[in-house]
Chain A
Amino acid sequence: MNRRKTKVAVITAARRFSYLIPSIFIMLVLISCIPVHVMIGRLFNIIDHVNGAAGAAIAALVGSVMMLPGFIVFPLCDEFVREGVPYYILSALTTTMMMVGVMTFPLEKTYLGVKLALARNLFGFVIALAVAGITGIVFGEF
């Protein structure tokens, strides 16, 4: 742990961060251009009408596009539960929100490369659907 090395570490960190600024910027633009509140309102309407596999699929798609921090998502889900939205749809929504990041893709691409990032997101989506299915079975909603 010597001083010079530590200094080098900090400088490398700064330089590495500066390389990332373009992808972070694009990610921020994507996030800010998609109206999350409107989407949540729509989701309410859609989920009221569509249940079952189609509902879960829609929730999963919305979840992969949305990117909200946990302290907003989970209280929201609590609200959904009180409105009578089944648990499997919520698990599709939250799991894709955590695992799949359409918005974070520009950033992920710079680290993992397009192929790996794409594969990871696809796997995440499939896993989320599986989780949703088993949640539905465990909670006896099918």
Chain B
Amino acid sequence: MMKNKKGQMKRLFFMIFSVGFCLFTTISFFIEFGPGRRIGQTFFTMAIRMLQILPPAFVLIGLFEVWIKNETMKNHLGEKAGFKGHLWAIILAGMIVGPLYVSFPVAYAIMQKGARIGVVFTYIGASAICRIPMAIFEASFLGLQFTAVRLAVSLPLVLITSIAFEKWCGHLEISGVPACSKQLLKIKGDGRHAKHW
């Protein structure tokens, strides 16, 4: 009961906040209040960019969840995979296009499919630093040496931290639940994901 009330409060707060923000930007647009106008413009362009990227990503993730078998995932990225799981994660991450916020839902999806937490961490880290299109772009502006040094240092460090992390809080993988929000867990109410939680 208490929790429900808290959620309602949160929702109310969010509604007030968002309505206030929209009012602020529209009013400042009409009275030509410089900073407010700029904030509104940035908000609008960023929102459009995100709406172009995120919905397709979510549909792809949904299809991935239906089409790929849990067994495949567990064999390649799960407990049995050993170090190979990390390599797979790096390869998968290298092929992603788009900013970091796309890789969180993907990471969540592979975690749900039975990838272990260290591999998920490698995936997020690697998708931040070694997306291939981005690396090529970077090398063309800052030189191959710069990119090579950056990758050569950061990739092993990402691997080391995620392996250490797995040792440190591997128990999160078994329960799974503390590692993600309750709001998202509601989705499993349709019973499809209930088994492997």
**A residues less than 8 Å from B187 (CB atoms):** 12, 15-16, 19
Give the residue name and chain of the A residue nearest to B60 (CB). Answer: A13
**B181 at interface by CB-CB < 8 Å:** yes
Q: Is there contact, CB below 8 Å, between A131 and B128?
A: no
Give the residue name and chain of the B residue nearest to A138 (CB). Answer: B149
**B62 at interface by CB-CB < 8 Å:** yes
Q: Is there contact, CB below 8 Å, between A71 and B105?
A: no
Digit string of B121-164 for contact with A (CB within 8 Å is 1, else 0)?
10011001100001001101110011001100110011001000
**A residues less than 8 Å from B174 (CB atoms):** none
Q: Is there contact, CB below 8 Å, between A77 and B141?
A: yes
Give the residue name and chain of the A residue nearest to B59 (CB). Answer: A13
Q: Is there contact, CB below 8 Å, between A127 and B154?
A: yes
Q: Interface residue count for A (Cβ, 8 Å)?
A: 61
The secondary-structure label for the interface of chain B is: helix
Partner-contacting stretch, out of B42-50, B74-82, B84-92: B42-50
**B107 at interface by CB-CB < 8 Å:** yes
**B residues less than 8 Å from A61 (CB atoms):** none
Give the residue name and chain of the A residue nearest to B140 (CB). Answer: A74
**B residues less than 8 Å from A12 (CB atoms):** 62, 65, 187, 190, 192
Q: Is there contact, CB below 8 Å, between B183 and A110?
A: yes
**A residues less than 8 Å from B146 (CB atoms):** 87, 90-91, 135, 139
Q: Give bound CA distance, A103 to B135, whole Å.
A: 22
**B61 at interface by CB-CB < 8 Å:** yes
**A123 at interface by CB-CB < 8 Å:** yes
**B residues less than 8 Å from A107 (CB atoms):** 101, 104
**A residues less than 8 Å from B179 (CB atoms):** 112-113, 116
Q: Is there contact, CB below 8 Å, between B63 and A6?
A: yes
Give the residue name and chain of the A residue nearest to B61 (CB). Answer: A13
Q: Give bound CA distance, A105 to B169, whole Å.
A: 20
Q: Is there contact, CB below 8 Å, between B43 and A112?
A: no
**A residues less than 8 Å from B107 (CB atoms):** 111-112
Partner of A33, one of B39, B50, B55, B161: B39
B interface residues, Cβ below 8 angstroms from A: 14, 18, 21, 35, 38-40, 42-43, 46-47, 49-50, 54-55, 58-59, 61-63, 65-67, 99-101, 104-105, 107-108, 121, 124-125, 128-129, 134, 137-138, 140-142, 145-146, 149-150, 153-154, 157-158, 161, 165, 169, 172, 178-181, 183-184, 186-187, 190, 192
Between A and B, 8 residue pairs with Cβ closer than 8 Å are: A6-B63, A16-B58, A19-B186, A71-B137, A74-B137, A104-B104, A123-B165, A138-B145
